[in-house]
Amino acid sequence: MSKRRTKFCCQECGYESPKWMGKCPGCNQWNTMVEELEIAKPTRHQTFITSLESLTGGASNKPRVISSIESVQEPRIYTNYKEIDRVLGGGIVPGSLVLIGGDPGIGKSTLLLQISSQLASYHHKVLYISGEESLRQTKLRADRLRINSEKLFVLAETNLAYIEKTIDELSPTFVVIDSIQTVYHPEVQSAPGSVSQVRECTSHFMRLAKTKGVAIFLVGHVTKEGAIAGPRLLEHMVDAVLYFEGERSYTYRILRAVKNRFGSTNEMGIFEMKDDGLQEVLNPSEIFLEERSEGAAGSIVVASMEGTRPVLVEIQALIAPTSFGNPRRMATGIDHNRVSLIMAVLEKRVGLLLGSYDAYLKVAGGIKLDEPAIDLGIAVSIASSFRDQPSNPTDVVFGEVGLTGEIRRVSRVEQRVQEAAKMGFKRAIVPKKNLGGWQIPKGIQVIGVSNVQEALEYTLGRSH
């Protein structure tokens, strides 16, 4: 009989301890150590003998000079969704393991079922494994999405042994596991969703993907902080980590890549949730600006880059006198530390006395911006609200703001200005260092500025 032992495992970072502790030494979180049972690992001698017996002695196990290895372009499987293919770096790579996380009810299962349907329509054999819903419940969702394909197979199972057997018998091209927290390894004596189970099942699916060349998508639950539940090791094991996010009050959903071994990690895909499923938003700038109110103080449009795609969004600011000892700094869609930094620059370099004012900033549309080029938009919106002076509604701005008040150069200026011209904007306020070396589109005026004071004079006029 196999010897069993008890251990305590942190449910946040996977730290293991032979005894219980109130605070995890690995991640410094309290009350995360949970008792688990597992089969004792074999001795080092047994492991060494097993490793020797498993060696094939082939050329693939011997080191090779890197110059002698042939460069082969990874084939891609297109999903017929341009937004998804862009985020994945050009399509699904066979043999890849992709993890998708998101809040409950955000649409992860809907998105993957629609992807499965598209792949099945291209005569790819697809296996959708649901551990949270029965076959009839999955069929109800498929009927709502108008999905009916002979190449799409559905299985309601959580036992890893049966899942592996089904994959061997069916030999699919694409597999969806919904979700990884419901799958359990029969030889691991901890509950499904625990750190040990998630780690073992993910490593098993990784070996299946690499050895059989099947692309596997794992759905992962998220914690209350928004990170994928389970140890951080889970994100290191997979080839790509995607986050499906969005505000519940909006119908728009954003798919972001935070890790991708086969493409860029800056790409973003935008979808709109409708009655018959998720639909792609091919022109996000039009969506984000359709409800903009012209002539309102504290509003400006910035040109941001999400990967290779320029997106025009509206930044709104409200500056009001504070009634407390410490003024409040609140931001939605922008890092509040960046807001405090730019407000300090405006107070020191421009002379705006903001120390006794509350500041509330928001990116309209529920999108999150984190690139330095939005600094100038934040500064203009704050100054516009503080002076109660609206900016020109046909202006678009972008540029990084330094601590000395200078406007620093940014990347992909031509794409940003082209997107602004396409959306009907007449003037672009850009860093002076970015002028030259590219062609200005017709119908738009480009003005280069070297500091914040100069940018405010163009957008708001001289202060009185």
The pairing of beta strand 268-274 with beta strand 277-280: antiparallel
Choose among 148, 87, 68: nearest CA to 116: 148
Task: Provide the greatest CA pair distance for the chain.
Answer: 87
Structural tokens at position 143 = 């009927």
Q: How far is CA 325 from the centre of its chain?
A: 38
Q: Is 102 annotated as a binding residue?
A: yes
DSSP codes, 307-337: TTEEEEEEEEEEEEE-SSSS--EEEESS-HH
Q: What is the dihedral of CA 338, 339, 344, 349, to 10 degrees?
A: 90
The string of DSSP codes covering 10-41 is ETTT--EESS--SB-TTT--BS-EEEEEEEPP
463 is in an annotated binding site: no
User: Is 289:304 a contact under the CB 8 Å cutoff?
Assistant: no
- Which 3 state secondary structure label does DSSP give 400? strand
Tokens of 452: 């914040």
Residue 278, classed as helix, strand or coil, is: strand
Q: Which residues of 61-83 are buried (b: 16+ CB within 10 A; e: fewer)?
A: eeeeeeeeeeeeeeebbebebeb
Give yes or no for a contact between 106 and 133, defined as CB atoms under 8 angstroms apart: no
* Closest to 419 (Cα-Cα) out of 299, 289, 315: 289
On whether 69 is known to bind a ligand per the annotation, the reply is no
Is 427:396 a contact under the CB 8 Å cutoff? yes
Per DSSP, the residues of 252-269 read EEEEEEEEETTS-SS-EE
Q: Is 108 assigned to a binding site? A: yes
Is 298 annotated in a binding site? The answer is: no
Cα separation, 236 vs 107, in Å, equals 24
Residue 231, marked binder: no
Burial track 427-442 (b if 16+ CB lie within 10 A, e otherwise): bbbbbbebeeeeeeee
Annotated binding site: 102-109
Annotated binding site for ATP: 102-109
